[in-house]
Amino acid sequence: MKLLGLNREEVKRAFKEGEFTVAVYGLGKMGLPLAAAFAEHGANVIGVDINEKVVESINSGTNHINEEPGLSELVERNVKAGKLKATTDGVWAAKQADVMIIIVPTLTDDRGNLKLDPVYDVAHKIAKGLEKGDIVITEATMPPGTTESLIPILEESGLKLGEFGLAHAPERTMSGTAIRDITGQYPKIVGASDEKTLEAVIGIYETINKKGVIPMSSIKAAEAVKVFEGVYRDVNIALANELALWCEEHGLDALEIFKAANTQPYCHLHMPGAGVGGHCIPIYPWFVINLVKKTNPRLIKTAREINDFMPHHVVELSIKGLNEVGKSLKGSNVLVLGLTFRGGVREFTKSPAILIIKELKEWGAKVYAYDPVCTPEDAERFGVEWKEDFKDIDAIIIVTDHKEFRDLDLEGIAKQVRNKVIIDGRNVLDAEKVIKLGFIYFRVGRSHS
Protein backbone atom coordinates (compact mmCIF):
# COMPACT_ATOMS: atom_id res chain seq x y z
CA MET A 1 0.00 0.00 0.00
CA LYS A 2 1.85 3.11 -1.19
CA LEU A 3 1.21 6.10 1.05
CA LEU A 4 2.56 8.85 -1.16
CA GLY A 5 -0.45 10.75 -2.45
CA LEU A 6 -2.80 9.77 0.37
CA ASN A 7 -4.02 12.43 2.79
CA ARG A 8 -3.40 12.04 6.51
CA GLU A 9 -6.85 10.57 7.23
CA GLU A 10 -6.46 7.92 4.50
CA VAL A 11 -3.00 7.10 5.87
CA LYS A 12 -4.38 6.72 9.41
CA ARG A 13 -7.12 4.37 8.19
CA ALA A 14 -4.64 2.30 6.19
CA PHE A 15 -2.31 2.23 9.17
CA LYS A 16 -4.96 1.00 11.58
CA GLU A 17 -6.15 -1.65 9.15
CA GLY A 18 -2.62 -3.00 8.79
CA GLU A 19 -2.52 -2.19 5.11
CA PHE A 20 1.08 -1.12 5.05
CA THR A 21 4.49 -2.26 6.11
CA VAL A 22 7.15 -0.29 7.99
CA ALA A 23 10.81 -1.29 8.01
CA VAL A 24 12.79 0.02 11.00
CA TYR A 25 16.56 -0.02 10.49
CA GLY A 26 18.40 -0.19 13.84
CA LEU A 27 16.80 -2.21 16.65
CA GLY A 28 18.60 -0.70 19.64
CA LYS A 29 17.46 1.37 22.62
CA MET A 30 15.40 3.56 20.31
CA GLY A 31 14.68 1.44 17.25
CA LEU A 32 13.10 -1.51 19.01
CA PRO A 33 10.65 0.59 21.06
CA LEU A 34 9.75 2.44 17.85
CA ALA A 35 9.23 -0.80 15.90
CA ALA A 36 7.10 -2.24 18.70
CA ALA A 37 5.02 0.94 18.92
CA PHE A 38 4.33 0.90 15.17
CA ALA A 39 3.29 -2.77 15.35
CA GLU A 40 1.11 -2.13 18.39
CA HIS A 41 -0.75 0.54 16.44
CA GLY A 42 -1.51 -1.71 13.46
CA ALA A 43 1.41 -1.56 11.03
CA ASN A 44 3.21 -4.66 9.79
CA VAL A 45 6.76 -4.10 10.97
CA ILE A 46 10.03 -5.56 9.76
CA GLY A 47 12.95 -4.68 11.99
CA VAL A 48 16.41 -4.70 10.45
CA ASP A 49 19.67 -4.99 12.38
CA ILE A 50 23.21 -6.08 11.52
CA ASN A 51 23.47 -7.87 14.86
CA GLU A 52 22.26 -11.43 14.30
CA LYS A 53 21.81 -12.03 18.04
CA VAL A 54 19.46 -9.04 18.20
CA VAL A 55 17.47 -10.40 15.24
CA GLU A 56 17.24 -13.90 16.70
CA SER A 57 16.23 -12.60 20.11
CA ILE A 58 13.43 -10.46 18.68
CA ASN A 59 12.13 -13.27 16.44
CA SER A 60 11.92 -15.45 19.53
CA GLY A 61 9.71 -12.74 21.05
CA THR A 62 12.41 -11.55 23.46
CA ASN A 63 13.32 -7.94 24.15
CA HIS A 64 17.09 -7.35 24.56
CA ILE A 65 16.77 -3.78 25.85
CA ASN A 66 16.54 -4.19 29.63
CA GLU A 67 16.09 -0.57 30.57
CA GLU A 68 12.77 -0.06 28.80
CA PRO A 69 9.67 -0.63 30.95
CA GLY A 70 6.78 -2.17 28.97
CA LEU A 71 8.89 -3.05 25.94
CA SER A 72 9.13 -6.79 26.62
CA GLU A 73 5.35 -7.21 26.62
CA LEU A 74 5.00 -5.16 23.41
CA VAL A 75 7.68 -7.20 21.62
CA GLU A 76 6.32 -10.56 22.78
CA ARG A 77 2.71 -9.71 21.89
CA ASN A 78 3.46 -8.32 18.46
CA VAL A 79 5.94 -11.01 17.44
CA LYS A 80 3.38 -13.63 18.46
CA ALA A 81 0.68 -11.79 16.47
CA GLY A 82 2.95 -11.77 13.42
CA LYS A 83 2.98 -7.94 13.38
CA LEU A 84 6.70 -7.67 14.19
CA LYS A 85 9.57 -9.63 12.74
CA ALA A 86 13.30 -8.99 12.41
CA THR A 87 15.92 -9.68 9.77
CA THR A 88 19.50 -8.83 8.90
CA ASP A 89 18.48 -8.48 5.23
CA GLY A 90 17.97 -4.75 4.74
CA VAL A 91 17.36 -5.08 1.00
CA TRP A 92 14.60 -7.68 1.39
CA ALA A 93 12.99 -5.51 4.07
CA ALA A 94 13.00 -2.49 1.74
CA LYS A 95 11.32 -4.52 -0.98
CA GLN A 96 8.49 -5.45 1.42
CA ALA A 97 8.11 -2.04 3.04
CA ASP A 98 6.21 1.10 2.10
CA VAL A 99 7.94 3.20 4.79
CA MET A 100 11.61 2.78 5.72
CA ILE A 101 12.81 4.36 8.97
CA ILE A 102 16.52 4.84 9.70
CA ILE A 103 17.39 4.88 13.39
CA VAL A 104 20.96 3.60 13.58
CA PRO A 105 23.73 5.40 15.52
CA THR A 106 24.97 8.76 14.26
CA LEU A 107 28.30 9.32 15.95
CA THR A 108 31.53 11.30 15.79
CA ASP A 109 35.14 10.25 16.32
CA ASP A 110 37.16 11.61 19.25
CA ARG A 111 37.92 14.73 17.27
CA GLY A 112 34.26 15.41 16.58
CA ASN A 113 34.34 14.33 12.94
CA LEU A 114 31.01 12.92 11.76
CA LYS A 115 30.75 9.13 11.51
CA LEU A 116 27.58 8.41 9.55
CA ASP A 117 28.63 5.11 7.97
CA PRO A 118 25.71 3.16 9.49
CA VAL A 119 23.26 5.65 7.93
CA TYR A 120 24.88 5.43 4.49
CA ASP A 121 25.02 1.63 4.74
CA VAL A 122 21.29 1.53 5.37
CA ALA A 123 20.56 4.02 2.57
CA HIS A 124 22.42 1.81 0.07
CA LYS A 125 20.38 -1.21 1.15
CA ILE A 126 17.10 0.72 0.96
CA ALA A 127 17.99 1.91 -2.56
CA LYS A 128 18.10 -1.71 -3.68
CA GLY A 129 14.49 -2.24 -2.59
CA LEU A 130 12.98 1.23 -3.06
CA GLU A 131 9.74 1.36 -5.04
CA LYS A 132 7.64 4.21 -6.45
CA GLY A 133 5.46 5.72 -3.73
CA ASP A 134 7.72 4.62 -0.85
CA ILE A 135 8.73 7.01 1.93
CA VAL A 136 12.17 7.07 3.63
CA ILE A 137 12.34 8.70 7.06
CA THR A 138 15.45 9.38 9.16
CA GLU A 139 14.64 9.29 12.89
CA ALA A 140 18.26 9.12 14.02
CA THR A 141 19.61 12.50 15.12
CA MET A 142 21.15 13.86 11.93
CA PRO A 143 23.60 16.72 11.36
CA PRO A 144 21.48 19.36 9.59
CA GLY A 145 21.62 18.74 5.83
CA THR A 146 22.67 15.11 6.01
CA THR A 147 19.27 13.52 5.44
CA GLU A 148 19.22 15.19 2.03
CA SER A 149 22.76 13.92 1.39
CA LEU A 150 21.10 10.50 1.11
CA ILE A 151 19.18 11.53 -2.03
CA PRO A 152 21.87 10.50 -4.56
CA ILE A 153 22.22 7.15 -2.81
CA LEU A 154 18.46 6.56 -2.79
CA GLU A 155 18.28 7.59 -6.46
CA GLU A 156 20.61 4.66 -7.22
CA SER A 157 17.26 2.86 -7.21
CA GLY A 158 16.52 4.48 -10.57
CA LEU A 159 13.75 6.53 -8.99
CA LYS A 160 13.96 10.33 -8.69
CA LEU A 161 13.07 12.19 -5.50
CA GLY A 162 9.37 12.96 -5.85
CA GLU A 163 8.68 9.44 -7.03
CA PHE A 164 9.62 8.51 -3.46
CA GLY A 165 9.35 10.73 -0.41
CA LEU A 166 12.09 11.70 2.06
CA ALA A 167 11.54 13.06 5.56
CA HIS A 168 13.25 13.64 8.90
CA ALA A 169 11.32 12.97 12.11
CA PRO A 170 13.80 12.93 15.01
CA GLU A 171 13.29 10.60 17.91
CA ARG A 172 12.78 12.73 21.03
CA THR A 173 12.96 10.42 24.00
CA MET A 174 15.31 8.97 26.60
CA SER A 175 16.11 5.43 27.55
CA GLY A 176 13.70 4.44 30.29
CA THR A 177 10.73 6.40 28.90
CA ALA A 178 10.89 5.51 25.20
CA ILE A 179 7.45 3.88 24.87
CA ARG A 180 5.80 6.74 26.72
CA ASP A 181 7.63 9.37 24.69
CA ILE A 182 7.17 7.72 21.27
CA THR A 183 3.42 7.40 21.79
CA GLY A 184 2.66 10.80 23.21
CA GLN A 185 4.89 12.78 25.53
CA TYR A 186 6.14 15.37 23.04
CA PRO A 187 4.86 16.53 19.64
CA LYS A 188 6.69 14.85 16.76
CA ILE A 189 8.88 17.18 14.70
CA VAL A 190 8.61 16.45 10.97
CA GLY A 191 10.27 17.94 7.88
CA ALA A 192 9.71 16.49 4.39
CA SER A 193 10.91 16.73 0.79
CA ASP A 194 7.50 17.84 -0.54
CA GLU A 195 3.88 18.48 0.46
CA LYS A 196 2.65 14.98 -0.46
CA THR A 197 5.33 13.35 1.69
CA LEU A 198 4.66 15.74 4.57
CA GLU A 199 0.93 14.93 4.44
CA ALA A 200 1.55 11.18 4.54
CA VAL A 201 4.18 11.39 7.29
CA ILE A 202 1.87 13.55 9.43
CA GLY A 203 -0.72 10.79 9.06
CA ILE A 204 1.80 8.15 10.12
CA TYR A 205 2.89 9.94 13.29
CA GLU A 206 -0.54 11.21 14.27
CA THR A 207 -1.46 7.52 14.44
CA ILE A 208 1.16 6.59 17.03
CA ASN A 209 1.74 9.90 18.84
CA LYS A 210 -1.21 11.45 20.65
CA LYS A 211 0.70 14.72 21.08
CA GLY A 212 0.50 15.23 17.33
CA VAL A 213 3.01 16.64 14.87
CA ILE A 214 4.86 19.94 14.40
CA PRO A 215 5.50 20.25 10.64
CA MET A 216 8.69 22.17 9.81
CA SER A 217 9.39 24.15 6.67
CA SER A 218 12.15 21.79 5.57
CA ILE A 219 14.00 18.60 6.37
CA LYS A 220 17.03 20.62 7.47
CA ALA A 221 14.91 22.68 9.87
CA ALA A 222 13.61 19.47 11.44
CA GLU A 223 17.18 18.17 11.83
CA ALA A 224 18.20 21.44 13.49
CA VAL A 225 15.39 21.21 16.07
CA LYS A 226 16.70 17.96 17.55
CA VAL A 227 20.35 19.00 17.37
CA PHE A 228 19.62 22.35 19.03
CA GLU A 229 17.83 20.58 21.89
CA GLY A 230 21.03 18.67 22.56
CA VAL A 231 23.28 21.72 22.16
CA TYR A 232 21.07 23.64 24.60
CA ARG A 233 21.58 20.87 27.15
CA ASP A 234 25.37 20.61 26.68
CA VAL A 235 25.87 24.38 26.94
CA ASN A 236 23.69 24.60 30.04
CA ILE A 237 25.47 21.71 31.71
CA ALA A 238 28.74 23.54 31.00
CA LEU A 239 27.35 26.69 32.61
CA ALA A 240 26.40 24.69 35.70
CA ASN A 241 29.87 23.13 35.80
CA GLU A 242 31.67 26.48 35.44
CA LEU A 243 29.58 28.09 38.18
CA ALA A 244 30.17 25.02 40.36
CA LEU A 245 33.94 25.40 39.97
CA TRP A 246 33.56 29.06 41.00
CA CYS A 247 31.56 27.96 44.07
CA GLU A 248 34.33 25.57 45.10
CA GLU A 249 36.82 28.46 45.01
CA HIS A 250 34.53 30.55 47.19
CA GLY A 251 33.69 27.84 49.71
CA LEU A 252 30.06 27.79 48.60
CA ASP A 253 27.71 24.87 47.88
CA ALA A 254 26.61 25.21 44.24
CA LEU A 255 23.53 23.00 44.68
CA GLU A 256 22.16 25.17 47.48
CA ILE A 257 22.59 28.24 45.28
CA PHE A 258 21.27 26.63 42.07
CA LYS A 259 18.17 25.35 43.85
CA ALA A 260 17.34 28.84 45.09
CA ALA A 261 18.21 30.51 41.77
CA ASN A 262 15.96 28.06 39.89
CA THR A 263 12.93 29.28 41.81
CA GLN A 264 13.07 32.17 39.36
CA PRO A 265 11.02 31.53 36.14
CA TYR A 266 13.87 32.37 33.81
CA CYS A 267 16.60 30.41 35.51
CA HIS A 268 17.13 26.72 34.74
CA LEU A 269 20.61 25.96 36.00
CA HIS A 270 21.41 22.35 35.20
CA MET A 271 23.25 19.82 37.38
CA PRO A 272 27.06 20.10 37.75
CA GLY A 273 28.83 16.75 37.70
CA ALA A 274 31.53 14.36 36.61
CA GLY A 275 31.10 15.09 32.92
CA VAL A 276 28.80 14.60 29.92
CA GLY A 277 28.62 11.13 28.39
CA GLY A 278 26.43 9.08 26.07
CA HIS A 279 26.17 9.10 22.31
CA CYS A 280 23.85 12.08 22.27
CA ILE A 281 24.71 15.20 24.22
CA PRO A 282 28.52 15.17 23.82
CA ILE A 283 28.05 14.35 20.10
CA TYR A 284 25.33 16.70 18.82
CA PRO A 285 27.32 19.95 19.39
CA TRP A 286 29.85 18.66 16.85
CA PHE A 287 27.03 18.50 14.30
CA VAL A 288 26.98 22.32 14.58
CA ILE A 289 30.70 22.95 15.19
CA ASN A 290 31.71 20.94 12.13
CA LEU A 291 29.15 22.49 9.80
CA VAL A 292 30.29 26.12 9.75
CA LYS A 293 31.99 28.27 7.13
CA LYS A 294 31.81 31.79 8.58
CA THR A 295 30.19 31.41 12.01
CA ASN A 296 32.61 30.74 14.85
CA PRO A 297 30.77 28.49 17.36
CA ARG A 298 32.93 29.75 20.26
CA LEU A 299 30.31 29.20 22.96
CA ILE A 300 29.46 25.64 21.86
CA LYS A 301 33.14 24.67 21.55
CA THR A 302 34.00 26.16 24.94
CA ALA A 303 31.06 24.33 26.53
CA ARG A 304 32.41 21.05 25.18
CA GLU A 305 35.85 21.86 26.64
CA ILE A 306 34.37 22.68 30.06
CA ASN A 307 32.32 19.48 30.15
CA ASP A 308 35.28 17.37 29.02
CA PHE A 309 37.36 18.90 31.85
CA MET A 310 35.00 17.60 34.54
CA PRO A 311 36.27 13.99 34.77
CA HIS A 312 39.71 15.43 35.49
CA HIS A 313 38.21 17.72 38.12
CA VAL A 314 36.64 14.74 39.89
CA VAL A 315 40.13 13.22 40.13
CA GLU A 316 41.38 16.56 41.54
CA LEU A 317 38.66 16.35 44.19
CA SER A 318 39.71 12.80 45.07
CA ILE A 319 43.30 14.02 45.56
CA LYS A 320 42.03 16.83 47.84
CA GLY A 321 39.80 14.42 49.74
CA LEU A 322 42.57 11.89 50.34
CA ASN A 323 44.93 14.68 51.39
CA GLU A 324 42.45 15.48 54.18
CA VAL A 325 43.17 12.00 55.62
CA GLY A 326 46.91 12.25 54.98
CA LYS A 327 46.93 9.98 51.95
CA SER A 328 47.85 10.40 48.31
CA LEU A 329 46.21 8.65 45.39
CA LYS A 330 49.36 6.60 45.00
CA GLY A 331 48.89 3.45 47.04
CA SER A 332 45.25 4.18 47.87
CA ASN A 333 42.35 1.81 47.15
CA VAL A 334 39.71 3.74 45.24
CA LEU A 335 36.21 2.40 44.49
CA VAL A 336 34.48 3.91 41.45
CA LEU A 337 30.69 3.59 41.71
CA GLY A 338 29.22 3.71 38.21
CA LEU A 339 30.72 2.84 34.81
CA THR A 340 27.81 3.86 32.54
CA PHE A 341 27.29 7.41 31.22
CA ARG A 342 24.12 7.96 33.26
CA GLY A 343 21.93 6.16 35.75
CA GLY A 344 19.73 3.26 34.65
CA VAL A 345 21.18 2.90 31.14
CA ARG A 346 23.87 0.34 30.23
CA GLU A 347 25.67 2.58 27.70
CA PHE A 348 29.41 3.34 27.92
CA THR A 349 29.91 5.78 25.02
CA LYS A 350 32.01 8.69 26.30
CA SER A 351 31.25 7.70 29.87
CA PRO A 352 33.18 9.98 32.29
CA ALA A 353 34.24 6.80 34.14
CA ILE A 354 36.59 6.00 31.27
CA LEU A 355 38.76 9.09 31.80
CA ILE A 356 38.41 9.07 35.60
CA ILE A 357 39.63 5.47 35.90
CA LYS A 358 42.48 6.10 33.42
CA GLU A 359 43.72 9.11 35.40
CA LEU A 360 43.36 7.44 38.82
CA LYS A 361 45.52 4.58 37.58
CA GLU A 362 48.07 7.03 36.17
CA TRP A 363 48.32 8.54 39.67
CA GLY A 364 49.09 5.07 41.07
CA ALA A 365 45.77 4.29 42.74
CA LYS A 366 44.46 0.73 42.93
CA VAL A 367 41.07 1.15 41.27
CA TYR A 368 37.99 -1.01 41.84
CA ALA A 369 34.52 -0.56 40.36
CA TYR A 370 30.90 -1.52 40.85
CA ASP A 371 27.85 -0.66 38.72
CA PRO A 372 24.35 -2.12 39.32
CA VAL A 373 23.57 -2.45 35.58
CA CYS A 374 26.99 -3.88 34.66
CA THR A 375 28.92 -7.13 35.07
CA PRO A 376 32.45 -7.95 36.29
CA GLU A 377 33.36 -8.40 32.61
CA ASP A 378 32.40 -4.74 32.00
CA ALA A 379 34.79 -3.71 34.77
CA GLU A 380 37.53 -5.70 33.08
CA ARG A 381 36.90 -3.69 29.88
CA PHE A 382 37.71 -0.61 31.97
CA GLY A 383 40.85 -2.33 33.31
CA VAL A 384 39.63 -2.39 36.91
CA GLU A 385 38.65 -5.05 39.42
CA TRP A 386 34.96 -5.59 40.18
CA LYS A 387 34.18 -5.11 43.91
CA GLU A 388 30.84 -5.42 45.64
CA ASP A 389 31.93 -4.45 49.16
CA PHE A 390 33.78 -1.47 50.69
CA LYS A 391 36.48 -3.33 52.65
CA ASP A 392 39.86 -1.50 52.77
CA ILE A 393 38.65 1.31 50.52
CA ASP A 394 40.29 4.72 51.05
CA ALA A 395 38.06 6.78 48.74
CA ILE A 396 34.68 6.20 47.05
CA ILE A 397 33.97 8.13 43.84
CA ILE A 398 30.36 8.19 42.59
CA VAL A 399 30.49 8.70 38.83
CA THR A 400 26.99 7.62 37.69
CA ASP A 401 23.61 8.64 39.13
CA HIS A 402 22.17 5.13 39.44
CA LYS A 403 19.18 5.24 41.77
CA GLU A 404 20.81 2.47 43.87
CA PHE A 405 23.52 4.94 44.91
CA ARG A 406 20.98 7.28 46.46
CA ASP A 407 20.24 4.64 49.12
CA LEU A 408 23.75 3.49 49.98
CA ASP A 409 24.05 2.00 53.48
CA LEU A 410 26.35 4.76 54.70
CA GLU A 411 26.47 3.49 58.28
CA GLY A 412 27.56 0.05 57.03
CA ILE A 413 30.05 1.55 54.61
CA ALA A 414 31.58 3.70 57.38
CA LYS A 415 32.44 0.50 59.26
CA GLN A 416 34.03 -1.20 56.23
CA VAL A 417 36.21 1.46 54.63
CA ARG A 418 39.83 2.04 55.60
CA ASN A 419 39.42 5.84 55.16
CA LYS A 420 36.22 7.86 54.99
CA VAL A 421 36.36 9.87 51.79
CA ILE A 422 33.46 10.21 49.34
CA ILE A 423 33.61 12.19 46.10
CA ASP A 424 30.02 12.47 44.93
CA GLY A 425 30.32 13.15 41.19
CA ARG A 426 26.56 13.07 40.63
CA ASN A 427 25.21 14.76 43.79
CA VAL A 428 23.23 11.70 44.82
CA LEU A 429 24.01 11.79 48.56
CA ASP A 430 22.81 14.02 51.40
CA ALA A 431 25.93 16.01 52.38
CA GLU A 432 24.90 16.61 55.99
CA LYS A 433 24.16 12.89 56.59
CA VAL A 434 27.49 11.82 55.09
CA ILE A 435 29.52 14.41 57.01
CA LYS A 436 27.75 13.48 60.28
CA LEU A 437 29.10 9.94 59.81
CA GLY A 438 32.63 11.37 59.73
CA PHE A 439 33.23 11.24 55.98
CA ILE A 440 35.22 13.82 54.05
CA TYR A 441 32.52 14.63 51.49
CA PHE A 442 33.22 16.58 48.31
CA ARG A 443 31.09 17.02 45.22
CA VAL A 444 31.36 19.13 42.08
CA GLY A 445 30.51 22.58 43.40
CA ARG A 446 31.37 21.81 47.01
CA SER A 447 34.93 21.11 48.07
CA HIS A 448 34.61 21.63 51.80
CA SER A 449 33.15 19.35 54.43
Ligand X SMILES: CC(=O)N[C@@H]1[C@@H](OP(=O)(O)OP(=O)(O)OC[C@H]2O[C@@H](n3ccc(=O)[nH]c3=O)[C@H](O)[C@@H]2O)O[C@H](C(=O)O)[C@@H](O)[C@@H]1O
Cβ atoms of 189 and 202 closer than 8 Å: no
**b/e burial code for range 394-409 (CB count within 10 A of at least 16 → b):** bbbbbbbbbebbeebe
Which one-letter DSSP state was computed for residue 237?
H
- Pick the closer one to ligand X by CB: 174 or 213: 174
Helices 219-249 and 254-261, packing angle to 10 deg: 130
Q: Active-site residue among 12, 280, 350, 420?
A: 280
> Taking CB under 6 A as the rule, does residue 215 contact ligand NAI?
no
> Taking CB under 6 A as the rule, does residue 50 contact ligand NAI?
yes
Cβ atoms of 444 and 241 closer than 8 Å: yes
Q: How far apart are CA 73 and CA 351, in angstroms?
A: 30
- Pick the closer one to ligand NAI by CB: 275 or 277: 277
Helix (H, G, I), strand (E, B) or coil at 174: coil
Q: What is the nearest approach in angstroms of ligand NAI to the Cβ of residue 347?
A: 7
Binding mask 209-248 for ligand X (x = CB under 6 A): --------------------xx--x---x-----------
Q: What is the nearest approach in angstroms of ligand X to the Cβ of residue 307?
A: 7
- Pick the closer one to ligand NAI by CB: 85 or 443: 85
12 binds, among ligand X, ligand NAI, none (CB under 5 to 8 A by kind): none
Residue list 258-277, contact with ligand X (CB under 6 A): 270-271, 273, 276-277
Q: How far is CA 440 from CA 296, 363, 421, in A?
A: 43, 20, 5
Q: Active-site residue among 12, 83, 196, 226?
A: 226
Say if residue 304 is exposed, middle or buried (CB neighbours under 10 Å; 0-12, 13-18, 19+): buried
Q: What is the nearest approach in angstroms of ligand NAI to the Cβ of residue 178?
A: 8
> Taking CB under 6 A as the rule, does residue 49 contact ligand NAI?
yes
**b/e burial code for range 135-150 (CB count within 10 A of at least 16 → b):** bbbbbbbbbbebbbeb
Helix (H, G, I), strand (E, B) or coil at 384: coil
- Pick the closer one to ligand NAI by CB: 47 or 275: 47
Mark the segment that binds ligand NAI (CB under 6 A) among 25-33, 209-217, 330-338, 369-377: 25-33
Helix (H, G, I), strand (E, B) or coil at 403: helix
Interface with ligand NAI (CB under 6 A), residue from 87, 106, 108, 197: 106
Binding mask 159-198 for ligand X (x = CB under 6 A): -------------xxxx-----------------------
Per the annotation, the verdict on 267 as an active-site residue is: no
51 binds, among ligand NAI, ligand X, none (CB under 5 to 8 A by kind): ligand NAI
> Taking CB under 6 A as the rule, does residue 105 contact ligand NAI?
yes
Q: How far apart are CA 246 and CA 68, in angstroms?
A: 38
Per the annotation, the verdict on 83 as an active-site residue is: no
Q: How far apart are CA 440 and CA 449, in angstroms?
A: 6
Q: How far apart are CA 273 and CA 244, in angstroms?
A: 9
Q: For residue 443, give the nearest of 340, 404, 435 by alpha carbon.
A: 435
Q: Phi then psi for 26, rounded to 5 degrees?
A: 110, 105
Mark the segment that binds ligand NAI (CB under 6 A) among 46-54, 72-80, 260-268, 394-402: 46-54
Q: How far apart are CA 122 and CA 164, in angstroms?
A: 16
Q: What is the nearest approach in angstroms of ligand X to the Cβ of residue 15?
A: 24
Number of residues that bind ligand X (CB under 6 A): 19
Interface with ligand NAI (CB under 6 A), residue from 173, 307, 318, 447: 173
- Other CB atoms within a 10 A radius of the CB of residue 105 amount to 18
Binding site for ligand X (CB under 6 A): 141, 172-175, 229-230, 233, 237, 270-271, 273, 276-278, 280-281, 341-342
Provide the binding-site residues for ligand NAI, judged by CB under 6 A.
25-31, 48-51, 54, 103-106, 118, 121-122, 140-141, 171, 173-175, 280
